[in-house]
Chains A and B, each alone.
Chain A
C-alpha cells in the first residue's frame, strides 16, 4: 500500500531510510546526484547494507569516448557539473565550511569501494524518474519515489525550506517486484548504462587526497579569475594566428616579458589601451616592440611617439642595417617626437608634418607617457596634449593606445587621469560596461583623497600596506584593467629564476666629495651662493619692471588660466619663478663643473650687455620665457615669445639692476678663469676614478664606464679633457653623447652618430657582433638616462647630483638591467664638498627647483605648496642614495602602481593552465594544502591559514566592481588574529605565491604534522574557528559594497550583501601554513 511523506517534516525521506535500512538490506538508487553529505547523514545505515546499486539517471562520470554528439560541449559541461555536485551541490555548499570534507570524502570513498556498484545512463531521457528501493531479507521492502528524490540532503528532506514536491513510498510486493525487474533490465543493458565506479572513485580521491601547495595556489587563482580569462580567451586565439611566435622580437623576450606583451594585447583589445609601467630595467621597449609586431602582422598602422632623445631607440629597430638586431622583423611603424606635436610643418625624420594623416593610426605607442600626465589649459593655444587627443586619437580610424612609463604616477595618483583619458577617448564613462567603473575621474579623485589622508599620517603609519587598505576596489579594478606594472623586486621575489635573467649585484655606492679648486683659492660654494642670491636677473624678468599702468595690459596678453579656468597664472608669477630657477641653475652649474659655470656666466653677461645696448638704442625686448640651453628643457613646453616695449618699462631701475648683476657676475667669472684644468679638483678626482677602474676592474676585463652629467657644457668639457688622456695612458676609446647634438668619439671607424656610439659602447646588449672600435668611456647627459640598454657597462659615475633623485635611479637603470653579463655593478656619486644637510639647505635658500620644474612645465599653481615637502623628501632620498642604490619604487615618494595590480597572477595562472589542461577546471573546491614558510618571506609570513571564500549571495551587476569580489582572501594567524585582512588581497596573493611556487609535490613533513594535529582531519574545530574569524573580517566589506549601491538609482544590492555568518560563504580553498 502506498503512503505519502509529510512534506512539512524535516528529513522525512532520510529518517524513513534510517528506520528501514538494515544490515542485510539491498538498496537500489536512481538519481542524478549522490552527495557526500547525504551519505554522511545515513552512513551508519548505508555502511551496514549488504550491497548498493546506484544508477545515475543522467550521464555522469562517463569517459570521453561516449561523448560523440554535436552538443558535446554543453553535454560535458553539464556532466562535469553533476560530478562536482558530489561535493559542491549548491544547497550543501556551506557544509564545506565545517572543513571535514576530506574526512567525509574518504569515508564515502571506502563505502563506494566496498559496497556500491555505480552505473550511469549513456544518454539522457532513458529513465527520468528517481527511485530508492530497499529490499530486506526478512522484513518489508520499500520503493520510494517522487519528484526531487535525489540522493542529496535536500532530496532526503533535510533542508529547511518550503518545497512543493510530492514524495511517496510503496510496500506492495507486486509493485516492488515490477520495479525490481524494470531496474534490472536497465542496469544490465550495456547499450543503455555503463559502469562508472572507477571514474567516480578517481574523482573522490581529489576530495580527500593531500594536495600540493602549488596546486591550491593555482586553483584559488582559477576560481577568482576564471571569468576574466574567459572574457579574454578570444584574443589569445587571434594572437596565435598572427604568427607573432615566429618573430625575432618574440623569441628574444624573457618569459615575464612575453607575459606582459600578451597581457597588454588583451587589455588593448578589451579596453582600447594599456599602460605598461614595469619598473626601470625590465625591458619595456622590447615588450612594446613585440606588441607593435603583433599589430603590424594584423596590417595595422602604428605610430610611436617618443621623447626626442629616445627617438633613435625606436628608429634603429626599423633600419635595414647589420647593427639592427631586429632587422628581420621588418618593423614599419612611424616615429615622431613628442615635440613634433607642437609643430605644424617641416619634417620629422622622413615624415612631412604638414601633410601627415594624423587620424590614420590604428595603434599609438607613447613612450615615456608620463610626459603627458598634465593636460595644461593654455590660452589661445592647442597644446601637445590637445593635439594628441583630438587629431590622433579621436579623429579618423579607431586608435588603440599603448603607453610606456616606469613612472606614470609622479606624486599624485591623479597623474594617471590624463594618461587614461587617451585610452577612454576622454569619455569618463567608457569603462562602465567593461569594468563597472562608472566614472574614471571619480575613481581617481577618491583614490587621491585617500592618498592625501594617508600622506598626512605620521611616518610610522604611512606604510604601503596601510595605503592599500584605504583605497577603494574600483581603483584596483581600474589599474588591473588598464595597466601592467611589475617591479624588479616583485619579479625577483615571485617569479621563478628560470623565467628571468640574472640581475647584477649592486655594490654600495661610492661617495666622492670634491673641492672646486685644487689650490683652494676659489671662493667656497656657500660664498658663491651668497653672491648668486643677490642677483636680480632682470634679463629674465622685464615684466617685473613694467610701469604700474601697463601691467594689466600685459597680463591680459600673456597670463594663462589653469585648472579649467578656476585659477590663473600670471606672466609675472612665471618670471619670478624663472629668476629663481636661473639662480639655481647657475649654482648647479658650478656644482657640475667650473667650466659649465664659466660658460653660463659668460652667456648671462652677454645677454646683460645686449639688454644694456637695447636700452641705449630704445629697442623692445623679445625673449622666450624659458630660454636656457639646459638639456632638461628639451621636453618641457616652453612659453611663447614675450615682447615687452621699453617705453612701458621703468628703465632706470631696470638699467641699475642690470649693472649690479653685471658687476657680481664679472667678478665670479674672473675667479673661475683662475681654475684651470690642472687645478680642477673634481676633474682630477674623476681621472683617479677612471685610472683605478681600468687598473682594477670589478668584473673581469671590463673597463667600461658611463659618466653622467646634467649639463652638456660639462659633458663636452669632460670629453675634451678625458678622451685623449685616457687613450694615451690606457689605450681606451671614449665617446660623448648629449642632447644638443654634440656627438663625438675617438674610436677608429666609428661614426659620430648617436646609435653608433651607443652600440660600440655596449655591443653585447645591442647584439652587435663586431668588436672593432669598442668605446669604453661614455660621457653623457640625461638624454640617455631613460630607455637605453647599456648593461655591458658595470660602472656608472654621476659627475653631478641631479635635482631629482628619481633621475639618478633612472641613470643607474641603464646598467642595472636584466641580462647583464656583469656579476656586480658600481655607482659612484660626486657630491659638493660639504655635509648633505648643509648642501640641501644651500639649495633651499636659492629655491626648490623640483617644484619649479613642475611649475614651469605644467602651469599648475598648487605645486608651490608642495615645495617644503619636496625638500624634505629629497633630502631623505639623497641621504639614502649615499648608502645604497634603492629601487625606483622605493624612491618615488612611496607610490608605485606596481603595488596595485593583480595582473601578474592572472598571467601566471594562464601559463599554468596551458601546461596543465583541464586540471583546474575539473578540480573540486573546499580543498586544502599544507605548506611551510620559505626564507625569502620569513619576515612577512606567520603560521596560520589563508582562506579563500566566495560570497554566496551577491549581485552579478556588482561582480566587476572589484577585482576579487565576490571572492575574499584572509590570512588568519594561529591564535585567531587577522594577520592580513581581506582588504589587502594583493599582499596575501604575493605571499600565497611565494609560499607555494615550485612546491608541486605534497610536503610530507608539514602534512604529517597537520594530520597529527587534526587527527587526520577528523578534529578540525580549531580551523573552523579560524575560518569564522576570517568571515568576521569580510563581513564589513561585503556590507560596504551594498551601501555603495544606495547612491545609484535603481535596485540596491544592500540586501544581497547582508552577511550573517559562515553559511553565507563558500569555501574555495585554504592553505595551512606551518613554520617548520
Chain B
C-alpha cells in the first residue's frame, strides 16, 4: 500500500491508517441494496490513509456558499476485481462528502480520482458530486507513470489554502489522462475542467470515427467509400485541433 502513498510525500501528521468497514458505510449511510452489492463485490479493504486539514498542513480552510474545504481525505482501496472500477470511484466519491482523493489498487494496477462536490442545500452535512476526475489504469513500474507519480509530491507545491491544495491535486491527477493524447505527462498542470471538456469532445469525435469506420466496411461503392474516408479525415483533423489546443495551453505562459 505504501508504494504509491510514498509518492505523495504528505506531511507526517497527515498520515493515518484506519480501516473503514463496509458495514459501517452501509449502516451509516443507509445505502441501497445495489450499492451495497457494488461495495461488497469490489472492495477487499478500504483504508483512510490521509487527512489534510489546517492542523496537518498549516493551510487555511475555505468555506463558500457552495463548497467547504475543511478537510481533504485520502482513501486507499484494495480491490477484489476491477470489473466496476469507474462505478466504484463514482460511488465512493458520492459517499464521502468531503473533498476526497481515492486510490484503488488491484494487483499492481492503480487508479486515482478526485471529485468536484457542492454542499447539499437540503442537508448541509452532505454533498452533491458534480464531476468525478479519474485516471486511467496505472502501473507504477511504467516509465510514463513515474513522471505522473512524481507530480503528486506534496512538497513540490506551494498551496494557498486547502481549496488550492485540492484543486492542484485534482489537476495533477487528471492530467494523467493527457498521456494518452500527447504521449507524455505535462510539465505544467492544466485545469481538470478544461481537460475534461476536451476529453469529452474527443470522445464524441472518436465515437463518430468508429461509426464511420463501420460504415466504410459496409459501403459497397467506391464513391460511398471516398465520402466516408473524407469524413473520417475531417473528424481526425478536429481531434488533432483539440490536441493542439492542449499543447498550446501547455506552451502558454
CB-CB < 8 A to A446: which residues of B? 27-28, 30
Q: Which residues of chain B from 10 to 26 have any CB-CB distance to chain A below 8 Å in the complex?
A: 16, 18, 20-21, 24-25
Stretch at the interface among B103-111, B119-127, B199-207: B119-127
B96 within 8 A of A: yes
Beta-carbon contacts under 8 Å, A1034-1062 to B: 1039-1040, 1042-1044, 1046-1052, 1054-1055, 1058
Query: Which of B37-45, B68-76, B185-193, B230-238 lies on the face that meets chain A?
Result: B68-76
Q: Which residues of B contact A1044 (CB under 8 A)?
A: 24, 28
Query: Which single member of A445, A450, A1048, A1055 contacts B51 (CB below 8 Å)?
Result: A1055
B28 touching A1051 by the CB < 8 A rule?
no
The answer, yes or no, to whether A442 is at the interface (CB within 8 Å) is yes
Give residues 160-208 of B contacting A (CB, 8 Å).
none
The answer on a CB contact under 8 Å between A1046 and B27 is no
A1049 touches B127 (CB 8 A): yes
- The interface residues of chain A lying within 8 Å CB-to-CB of B48 are 1043, 1046, 1054
B73→A1046 contact, CB < 8 A: yes
A910 at the interface (CB under 8 A from B): no
If A438-B125, A1052-B51 touch, whether A445 touches B96 (CB-CB below 8 Å) is no
Given A438-B125, A1058-B16, is A1052 in contact with B27 using a C-beta cutoff of 8 Å? Answer: no
| B20-A1049 in contact (CB<8A) | no
User: Which A residues are in CB contact (< 8 Å) with B96?
Assistant: 1046-1047
Residues of A contacting B: mostly: helix
Known: A445-B30, A1044-B24. A1051 touches B53 (CB 8 A): yes
- The reply to whether A1049 and B18 contact each other, CB–CB distance below 8 Å, is no
CA distance A1055 to B51 in the complex (A): 8
Quick check: A1050 and B98 within 8 Å, CB to CB? Answer: yes
A664 to chain B, nearest CB (A): 48
Q: How far is the CA of A442 from the CA of B29 in the complex (A)?
A: 9
Query: Contact: A1055 with B16, CB < 8 Å?
Result: yes
CA distance A1047 to B124 in the complex (A): 12
Chain A residue contacts of B125, Cβ below 8 A: 438, 1048-1050
Q: Which chain A residue lies CB-closest to B14?
A: A1055
Q: Which residue of B lies closest to A1052 (CB)?
A: B71
Contact of A1054 among B25, B51, B95, B127 (CB under 8 A): B51
Most buried by B among A1042, A1046, A1050: A1046
**Quick check: is A449 within 8 A (CB to CB) of the other chain?**
yes
In angstroms, Cα B49 to Cα A1046, docked, is: 13
Chain B residues with CB below 8 A from A472, complex form: 27
How far in angstroms is the closest Cβ of chain B from A1046? 6
Across the interface, do A1050 and B68 meet the contact criterion of CB distance under 8 Å? yes
The CA of A1047 and the CA of B25, in the complex, are separated in Å by 8
Chain B residues within an 8 Å CB radius of A1043: 18, 20-21, 24, 48
Interchain CA distance A1039-B17 in the complex, whole Å: 11
The minimal Cβ–Cβ distance linking A514 to chain B, given in whole angstroms, is 52
Give bound CA distance, A445 to B31, whole Å. 12
On chain A, the residues within 8 Å of B98 by CB distance are 1046, 1049-1050, 1052
Chain A residue contacts of B68, Cβ below 8 A: 1049-1050
Contact residue among A449, A450, A1047 (Cβ-Cβ distance under 8 Å from B95): A1047
Is A1051 within 8 A of B70, CB to CB?
Answer: yes
Interface string of B84-122 (1 = CB under 8 A from A): 000000000001111000000000000000000001100
**A150-205, CB < 8 A from B:** none
Known contacts A1047-B95, A1047-B96, A1049-B97; A1054 and B30 CB within 8 A of each other: no
* Highest count of chain B CB atoms <10 Å: which of A1042, A1044, A1050: A1050
Query: B18: which A residues are within 8 A, CB to CB?
Result: 1039, 1042-1043, 1054, 1058
Bound-complex Cα distance A1052 to B120 (A):
18
Residues of B contacting A1050 with CB < 8 Å? 68, 70-71, 98, 125
B20 contacts which chain A residues (CB < 8 A)?
Answer: 1043, 1046
Taking the nearest CB of chain B, how far is it from the CB of A412, in angstroms?
A: 17
CA distance A1050 to B29 in the complex (A): 16
Of A442, A450, A1042, the contact of B30 (CB 8 Å cutoff): A442
In the bound complex, residues from chain A placing their C-beta under 8 Å from that of B73 are: 1046, 1052
The chain A residue with its CB closest to the CB of B98 is: A1049
Q: How far is the CB of B26 from chain A (nearest CB, A)?
A: 9
Instruction: Report the Cα distance A7→B120, complex, angstroms.
Output: 50
A429-450 interface code vs B (CB 8 A; 1 in, 0 out): 0000000001000100110011
Chain A residue with the shortest CB-CB distance to B13? A1055
- Which residues of B sit under 8 angstroms from A1058, Cβ to Cβ? 16, 18
| Distance to closest chain A CB from B150 (angstroms) | 28
CA distance in complex: A449, B26 (Å): 11
Chain A: minimal CB distance from B30 (Å): 6
Which of A449, A1048, A1049, A1051 lies in contact with B27, CB distance below 8 A?
A449
- Nearest CB of chain B from residue A524's CB, rounded to whole Å: 50
Q: How far is the CB of A432 from chain B (nearest CB, A)?
A: 9
A616 to B135, CA, bound (A): 81
Contacts of A450 in B (CB 8 A): 27
Contacts of B70 in A (CB 8 A): 1050-1051
Interface residues of A in 200-243 (CB under 8 A from B): none
Q: With A446-B30, A1039-B18, A1058-B16 known to touch, is A1049 a contact of B124 (CB < 8 Å)?
A: yes
Q: Which 9 A-B pairs have the closest CB atoms?
A: A1049-B97, A1048-B125, A1051-B71, A1047-B28, A1051-B70, A1043-B24, A1050-B70, A1049-B125, A1049-B127
Contact sample, A vs B, 10 pairs, CB 8 Å cutoff: A449-B27, A1043-B48, A1046-B48, A1046-B96, A1046-B98, A1047-B28, A1047-B97, A1049-B124, A1050-B98, A1054-B16
Q: Can you name 5 extra interface pairs (CB under 8 A) apart from A1052-B98, A1054-B48? A: A1049-B125, A1050-B125, A1055-B16, A1055-B51, A1055-B55
